Chain A
Amino acid sequence: MDYTFQFGPLLNYLPQIVSGLWLTVGLSFVGIFGGIALGIFCAVMSTSSSPFPRFLVRLYVEVVRNTPLLVQIFVIFFGLPNIGVRLTPLTSVFIALVLNNGGYVAEIVRGGIEATHRSQVEAGESLGLTYFQTLRFVILPPALEKVFTPVVSQCVLLMLSTSLVSVIGVEDLTGAAMIASSETFRTMEIYLVVAVVYVALNFAFRAVLNLAGLMVFTRLRRRLLGRA
């Protein structure tokens, strides 16, 4: 093996890589929080007493979870124009990421809601709370607390999946790396650097999400820090 590592040529691409990094952060941020919001909404809908919203959510969740994210991106970016909906690459991937994460989060949160005992709902209703108040104050907080760890795992996975957007020409971190690599041929070096950056991003996102969890969930805080 007589390969000589040369990281020097990469320096010229630093601005592109940094702007790609910010785009990756932005895509992840929107995908994660948009997906969490959509997922919670769908999870609530899936516990509805009327069958129609339940069916719609089921259909959505099954479609999202049983198709590759890349195919979803292709359908939105390459497929939709055929029926007259033209979206920019960036808009397409934002939509795809939120929809994708929403489907997974919906399924996780639904589990949390179903694990909340029926007697909790009865206690809330007996106090005169409305359905939405019961949902907001009695059902969702402990449900979300229960599924917090799997939701964080899912969201970190989504962050890594944002790299797929480079395939339709979006210059995220991976996209920027592809350009740098094709122009310098320092393929090994550039992807090694990018890999390290993803690892760092991963830790950063995990830390931010866990911190957010500590702020939102009092019992989590109590377990970790010994106070509420």
Chain B
Amino acid sequence: MSVVVAKNIRKSFGALEVLKGVSLTVEGGEVVALIGRSGSGKSTFLRCLNGLESVDSGEIEVAGHGMSRKPAELRQLRRDVGIVFQSYNLFPHLTAGENIMLAPVQVKCMGKDAARAEAKRCLALVGLGDRFEAYPDMLSGGQQQRVAIARSLAMQPKVMLFDEVTSALDPELTGEVLAVIENLARDGMTMLLVTHEMGFARRVANRTIFMKDGVIHEEGPSAEFFSAPKTPELQAFLRSEVG
């Protein structure tokens, strides 16, 4: 069953057309990596999938919900779509545990005790079972990002979107966050990730997509995609990324 279906998405910011007809289908349990240079539209595309950006034309269906501008319908969609941002975006005035409990309690009307148990389970899943009471500013960047992942997981999403989640982290912290994502992939979570970690995309993603100038320039199963890139643009990009 397709979890994400995007058809011919177009999006402009003022005169700048960022997405020029992007179509993508992601099946349940699939891990798809989006790569490309800054400004190629990959983050914008990801943000369109949970309605953080509205599209100018095209169709989006995620986890069985059609994209809508109506707030109530949009919330239904967002309940099933987790997103993790580059800058973590934890709520600074809440502890790690409270950050995670907020949405289950407020959105799903879960009881406090059940939400607490769920938050503890999710924190343990990202290796932070002992940091329930810690405030975000007491945690390292990697730990904060793992709390952010746990916060999304607590809503039991049908698909997770990762928007350059390791770009603000040094290599050591990047490793601990990627390990968490890799575990999720192994557990069968459907994921779409915008990333600059080529090795990670190659190892974890079933499929990798190269975006350039607002369109999907090349895509394929990760193994072939990286070992035998077809277009000269992707070849050049991979060369530049590997350094």
Chains A and B belong together in one complex: yes
Q: Residues of A at under 8 Å CB distance from B? A: 119-120, 122-131, 133, 137-138, 141-142, 145, 217-219, 222, 228
Interchain CA distance A120-B91 in the complex, whole Å = 7
8 Å CB contact of A130 from B71, B87, B90: B71
A123, B89: Cβ atoms under 8 Å? yes
B91, A125: Cβ atoms under 8 Å? no
Main secondary structure on A side of the interface with B:
helix
Interchain CA distance A145-B91 in the complex, whole Å = 13
8 Å CB contact of B50 from A124, A126, A133: A126
Q: Which residues on the B side are within 8 Å of A133 (C-beta)?
A: 106-107
Instruction: List which B68-88 residues lie within 8 A (CB) of chain A.
Output: 71, 75-76, 78-79, 81-83, 85, 87
**How many B residues touch the partner, as a band?**
20 to 34
Closest 7 CB pairs of A and B: A123-B89, A127-B103, A128-B107, A128-B79, A128-B78, A141-B93, A119-B89
Q: Which residues on the A side are within 8 Å of B83 (C-beta)?
A: 126
A216 CB, nearest partner CB in chain B, Å: 10
8 Å CB contact of A122 from B52, B92, B135: B52
B233 at the interface (CB under 8 A from A): no
Interchain CA distance A228-B132 in the complex, whole Å = 13
Q: Which residues on the B side are within 8 Å of A128 (C-beta)?
A: 75-76, 78-79, 103, 107, 155
Interchain CA distance A17-B79 in the complex, whole Å = 61
B44 at the interface (CB under 8 A from A): no
Interchain CA distance A159-B151 in the complex, whole Å = 44
24 pairs, A vs B, C-beta closer than 8 Å: A119-B85, A119-B89, A122-B89, A126-B83, A127-B102, A127-B107, A127-B155, A128-B75, A128-B155, A129-B75, A129-B102, A129-B106, A130-B75, A133-B107, A137-B91, A137-B102, A141-B93, A142-B92, A142-B93, A145-B93, A218-B93, A218-B135, A219-B93, A219-B135
